[in-house]
Every structure is written in C-alpha cells, then in structure tokens.
Amino acid sequence: MSILLSRETRVLVQGITGRVGRVQTKWMLEYGTNIVAGVTPGRGGEEVEGIPVYDTVTEAVVERGAEASVFFVPPASVKAAVLDTVEAGIKLIVIVTEHVPTHDAMEIRAYAKNQEVRLLGPTSPGIITPGEAKMGIMPGNMFTAGRIGVISRSGTLAYEISADLSAAGLGESTVVGMGAGAVVFTNMPELLEVFANDPDTDLVVIVGEVGGIQEEKATQFIAYRMTKPVIAYIAGRSAPEGKRMGHAGAIIQGSMGTSQSKVTALRQVGVEVAGYPLQIVELVRRRFDSYEGGGQWH
C-alpha cells in the first residue's frame, strides 16, 4: 500500500508532446508508472512512447480512465489546465511547472480545496512510491521500498536523504515533493495527516528549509494529532534575514521562517532535528531500535 500513488493509478501526462514531457514520460514508464494517456491541445491522435495523446482531459478520462495527472505545461497555462482537469474529475494533480504566477497559484489552491482535489506543487519534483510508480522528475534509482515517509520542500535534498536512507537499508513508503513556491497547494500538516493514516508508514522525515512557515504549521499537527515519530532536517542555517535563497518560498521574514525558529518549534513538540542530512539515518535507526527493543514511539 502507498499514499496517493500506486502501480494501479491511471496517470495522465499533460504537456506530453513537449521536450520535457516526452523525456519524463519515458522515464516514468520505465519505472513502472501506469501512464494511460497524454494531453496536448491540438495534438490529439498522436502517440508518445506508445501512449495516446488527446486534445482534452475529458477525452482522456472518458476513453482511458485517467485518474491522476502530472503537469509539464508552461506557467501561464497552468491555471486553465487545472480548471479543466478538476472539471474532468481528476482528484490527484502534480504540478512540476516552475514560475506559476502567485495570484494564479492562490486561485488554484482555493478552487482545488473546494473541490476536494489533492494538488502538489507548484515547482514540485513530484511523488514516488518506491518500486511501484512515480509522477514527476524524481530519479527512481535513489529510492527503495520501505516504511519511512518523506515530505520535502527541496527536490535535491529529497533525493539525497532518500538515497542515504536506502544505502543504510532503510527504505521509503512514499516520498512527496510538496513544492517550493511562495504558495503551496498542499501544506505540510495535510501531508503529515495522510502519512499518519497510512498503515505502511512507521515514521516520517520532514526535509524543510528556511523561509515560510510550513514547518511551524506542522508543529501544531505534530503536537496534537500525529501518532507516529517525526524526524526533521532544516536546510539553510546560514541564510541571512530577508534574503531569498533559491526558491520563492525560501524567504525569512522577521523572527518567523529562520532555521532556528523552525528547529526550536520542532524540538518543542518532540521532533529530533538533524544537524546535517546524513545524520537523519542515525536518528531514524535510533528510533527503530528503540521501538523494536520494546520502547514506545513517543
């Protein structure tokens, strides 16, 4: 079992005929993702890697039973594409596209939440259930199946930390790239809740970074509702206040959003915070050893 995505999930690729869409479709198929259709307006009737291309999402849903969609479309087209996708009945959308206008992202988030649709992104590396399927650009060879859930605001750090866990014989149940924009469609507490309800996840790793208040929001859920241990790493400890560090969402504002404020808040609710990425392996092992020795998670 996995959260959100499995080998049975019928995936649609939007922007499949573009350069990036074609390459990523090939790699997703090679990993085992059940891609059933692609959509590029005006290119219906073509094929990419043997996958039929349609002009509209509705056609892909009706004819191929698509139920999840990954976006490789231009930033200016994302809002209209999301509206069409939601109206067609798709309930899981991964938006890899960068530079989606902030006002568009805010409208998309409000609309999708009202329609009970799960969106990841924008600027998301995607989601991967190791050994089963992936939607997005995560490199499959860095992940192995296991019982650790990973939520990451950074694509590259998600890969690095998952690779470290895999090398240590500790695999992942699902890895979710939540996106790095100033506006994210699904926040960290929402993702923690999904992992908390997953019987195949024993522990969750948060890969955070400076800027925004996602990690501070997460502490409220962890304190009162999280039933599994959480371990975290916060990137960007040397980032100066008010300085944008790579992502639109990585901006420190006053006392909120600093690495220290996040570390302090997490530790106050019992989360162990690694000082460097590889230390996560040590902290995870310690938790598992304690549990297997008859201890309690909390």
On whether the CB atoms of residues 149 and 161 are closer than 8 A, the answer is no
All structural domains of the chain with their residue ranges: 1-123, 139-293
- The contacts of residue 271 (CB under 8 Å, 6+ apart) are 206, 219, 222, 230, 231, 232
Strand partners, 149: 204
CA-to-CA separations, 276 to 23, 135, 152, 244, in angstroms, rounded: 33, 28, 15, 21
- Specify the residue for token string 């050893």: 289
Model pTM? Answer: 0.91
Residue type, 272: E
Reply yes or no on whether the pLDDT at 243 is more than 70.
no
Over residues 186-216, the pLDDT tens digits come to 999 999 999 999 999 999 999 999 988 999 9
Over residues 91-110, the pLDDT tens digits come to 999 999 999 999 999 999 99
Can you list the alpha helix ranges (DSSP code H) found in the chain?
A: 19-31, 57-64, 78-87, 102-114, 155-167, 188-196, 214-224, 259-268, 279-292
Q: Which two tokens stand for residue 46?
A: 């073509």
Reply yes or no on whether the pLDDT at 125 is more than 90.
yes
On whether the CB atoms of residues 16 and 39 are closer than 8 A, the answer is yes
CA-to-CA separations, 133 to 28, 94, 175, 257, in angstroms, rounded: 7, 13, 11, 33
CATH number assigned to the domain with residue range 139-293, chosen from the 4 options 3.40.980.10, 1.10.3300.10, 3.30.420.40, 3.40.50.261: 3.40.50.261
Does 247 qualify as catalytic in the annotation?
yes
Look over the chain and give the mean of its residue pLDDT values, rounded to a whole number. 91
On whether the CB atoms of residues 207 and 164 are closer than 8 A, the answer is no
Assess whether the region 1-123 and the region 139-293 belong to the same CATH fold: yes
Distance CA 267, CA 265 (A): 6
Over residues 136-169, the pLDDT tens digits come to 999 999 999 999 999 999 999 999 999 999 999 9
Distance CA 68, CA 5 (A): 9
Distance CA 133, CA 111 (A): 27
CATH of domain 1-123: 3.40.50.720
User: Percent of the chain beyond pLDDT 70?
Assistant: 90
